[in-house]
A and B are shown apart, each in its own frame.
Chain A
């Protein structure tokens, strides 16, 4: 799947308002946000921090991070192999639906790559 096709599919998920897709080093690959550079640092730092915390609490697989905001435009970070995907949800969206929609799309893509 091309990057364009991937971002098109992301935006078709109910509740996804903005996205930013970055490499592990924070380099931006695609986005539709206003201030991508601040977000890319946040995403890369948070993603790597979650990986670093994992052994400290004795757990495996890191699934995602949620920044819950009082304005309900919650921000999510998903690991995608050596990349990270940041999602800002629409304030009216139901968070579990957004998380499930994005997780399903990522699983779909990753399992296709493995197959």
Chain B
């Protein structure tokens, strides 16, 4: 990872960069030491969310670039969930940088064999643990999740879509998605909302959208999460 950053550094206008994954945080950095890890993690979190949200409308996104007065950020997903984030100054030659990145990512995919169907061992049909944990598209759980997202939109507006998606992803990583594990999703959402009053409002909105049985599943964890 460090080598990728070293290869990009000579491109005129590049100040440095870092590699971020939502699961592991900062994997490598070539930025000046003034850019501390928590700062980089914050930046990584924002751009990774922008990237994944952008992909829902534009599935063929290659790069994301943020242009500011004195600097710019360029972000590319090297592999699933691995983001290369570069900081440059206004003199940065974007064409040269894009060309360099294309060469590096080509080399990287040849080296790792990532995302190429040919690299999968023949006859290996063992599903990944996450494939087992896919969210249902239909049924009572899917209906309830839709209601929960709708209720959240009423509380925090259009950002609800992103926050709910993130919370759902965390939930699926931690627990098998089922009615029985919904209290864990509520705990994650409570933490993400991070405002007791808004969370109370959220609960009220959910209650008005759901039936008694659904509410029983949802609020079973309320006692340990401090809800009423």
Contact = CB atoms under 8 A, between A and B. Distances in A.
Interface of A: 25-26, 35, 38-42, 44-46, 48-50, 52-54, 56-57, 59-71, 73, 75
Interface magnitude class on chain B = 20 to 34
Given A61-B69, A65-B67, A42 B49 contact: no
B106 interface: no
Contact of B68 (A35, A40, A59): A59
A68 B63 contact: yes
A56 B42 contact: yes
B43 interface: yes
Contacts of B62: 68-70
Interface of B: 35, 39, 42-43, 46-47, 49-50, 53-54, 56-58, 60-71, 73, 87, 157-159, 161-162
B69 A42 contact: no
Given A42-B54, A56-B43, A65 B159 contact: no
A38 B57 CA distance: 7
A25 B58 CA distance: 21
Contacts of A52: 42, 46
Contacts of B57: 35, 38-39, 42, 75
Contact of A63 (B53, B63, B68): B68
